[in-house]
C-alpha cells in the first residue's frame, strides 16, 4: 500500500537498528536512518542482479514525486538501459557541458594566447567579450551551433569578430617553431665522425651510423636498405622512387662501408 505523507513524516528508526526500510510499493521504499535522515530508494533488477537507485531526500522529495522518478527509471529499465548507469552518463555529460561553455573555452583560449599579445591588447580583448558577449552566449556549450547564431547581428564590432575567431580557428594555440638538434660546425662534425668510427658495438649499427652521416638518408631508408639497390662497382645507391625521390652518386667512403658490410659474415 502506498505511503501517505503522514506515514513518511512519522516513520522512525528503532534505537537498536542503524536504519529501516518503509515500503511504498513496486520497489520504492523510504530508508529511515537512526540519525533521523530519510531517503527514497528504488530497488530493481538488471542483468539478473539486484540494484538500487537513490531518488532523493525526504521531505524535499515527496512520496508522489518519488513515485514519478521511480516510474521514469522503470521505463529506462524496460528499454534495456540500466538507470544507475544512465545517471552516471548524464552527470558526465552535464559536467562536460559546464566545462565547455563558450565563456570557459574563451577564457582558456585567452590564456593560451596572452603570452603572444601585449598586456594592453590581452586585457582589452577579454574585457570586450565580458561586456558584450558573455551575457548573451557565455553559458551555452561551445558545441551548440546556436552559440554563434545567438549573438545579436546588431551588436557588431570587436566582440563579434572575436566570436568568429574562436569558431573559425578554435582554442588551440599554434605550435611554436622549434629548431631540431643539429651538428653545424665543421669541428663538431669531425668529432661526431671520429666517435662513429671508434664505435665498438654491433657492426651493423656502426655501418648504419656511418651511412646516416655520409648520405643523409632518412633513418627508415637506412634501416630498410636492400642489397638490390646497391651497385658497389659504380659506388651507387639507387633507392626506388617509392622510397626516395632523388638519386645521387655515393662517395668512396660510402662504397667502402657497403663493401665491408657485403663481405662480412653477419650479413646474409
43, 49, 54, 55: CA torsion to nearest 10: -50
If you count them, how many residues does the chain have? 268
pLDDT of residue 268: 44
Beta strands in 36-133 (DSSP E): 38-46, 49-58
Strand ranges across the sheet with 19-25: 19-25, 28-33, 38-46, 49-58
Q: What is the dihedral of CA 235, 239, 245, 250, to 10 degrees?
A: -20
d(CA 113, CA 122): 8
The CATH superfamily assigned to 5-82 is Integrase, DNA-binding domain (3.30.160.390)
Residues of the chain under the 50 pLDDT cut: 145, 147, 150-151, 153-156, 168-172, 265-268
Q: What is the predicted pLDDT for the residue at 62?
A: 92
**pLDDT score of 261:** 65
Separation CA 242–CA 156 (nearest Å): 53
CB 175 within 8 A of CB 185: no
pLDDT in the model for residue 30? 93
Q: How much is the pLDDT for 164?
A: 55
Q: Is the pTM of this model over 0.85?
A: no
Residue for cell digits 529499465? 77
Give the pLDDT confidence score for residue 253 in this predicted structure. 61
Domain boundaries, the chain: 5-82, 102-169, 186-263
Amino acid at each position: 500500500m502506498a505511503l501517505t505523507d503522514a506515514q513518511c513524516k512519522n516513520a522512525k528508526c528503532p534505537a537498536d537498528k542503524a536504519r529501516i526500510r518503509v515500503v511504498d510499493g513496486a520497489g520504492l521504499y523510504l530508508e529511515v536512518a537512526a540519525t533521523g535522515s530519510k531517503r527514497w530508494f528504488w530497488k530493481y533488477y538488471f542483468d539478473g542482479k539486484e540494484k538500487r537507485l537513490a531518488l532523493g531526500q525526504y521531505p524535499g522529495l515527496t512520496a508522489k514525486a518519488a513515485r514519478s522518478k521511480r516510474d521514469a527509471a522503470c521505463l529506462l529499465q524496460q528499454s534495456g538501459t540500466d538507470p544507475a548507469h544512465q545517471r552516471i552518463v548524464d552527470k558526465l555529460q552535464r559536467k562536460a557541458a559546464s566545462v565547455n561553455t563558450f565563456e570557459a573555452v574563451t577564457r582558456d583560449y585567452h590564456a593560451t594566447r596572452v603570452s603572444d599579445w601585449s598586456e594592453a591588447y590581452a586585457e582589452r580583448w577579454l574585457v570586450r567579450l565580458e561586456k558584450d558577449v558573455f551575457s548573451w552566449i557565455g553559458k551555452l556549450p561551445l558545441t551548440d551551433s546556436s552559440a554563434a547564431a545567438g549573438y545579436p547581428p546588431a551588436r557588431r564590432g570587436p566582440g563579434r569578430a572575436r566570436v568568429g575567431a574562436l569558431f573559425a580557428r578554435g582554442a588551440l594555440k599554434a605550435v611554436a617553431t622549434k629548431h631540431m638538434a643539429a651538428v653545424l660546425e665543421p669541428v663538431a662534425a669531425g668529432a661526431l665522425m671520429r666517435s662513429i668510427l671508434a664505435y665498438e658495438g654491433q657492426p651493423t649499427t656502426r655501418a648504419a651510423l656511418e651511412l646516416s652521416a655520409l648520405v643523409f638518408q632518412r633513418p627508415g631508408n637506412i634501416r630498410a636498405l636492400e642489397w638490390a639497390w646497391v651497385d658497389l662497382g659504380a659506388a651507387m645507391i639507387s633507392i626506388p622512387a617509392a622510397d626516395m625521390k632523388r638519386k645521387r652518386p655515393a662517395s668512396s667512403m660510402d662504397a667502402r662501408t657497403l663493401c665491408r658490410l657485403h663481405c662480412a659474415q653477419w650479413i646474409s
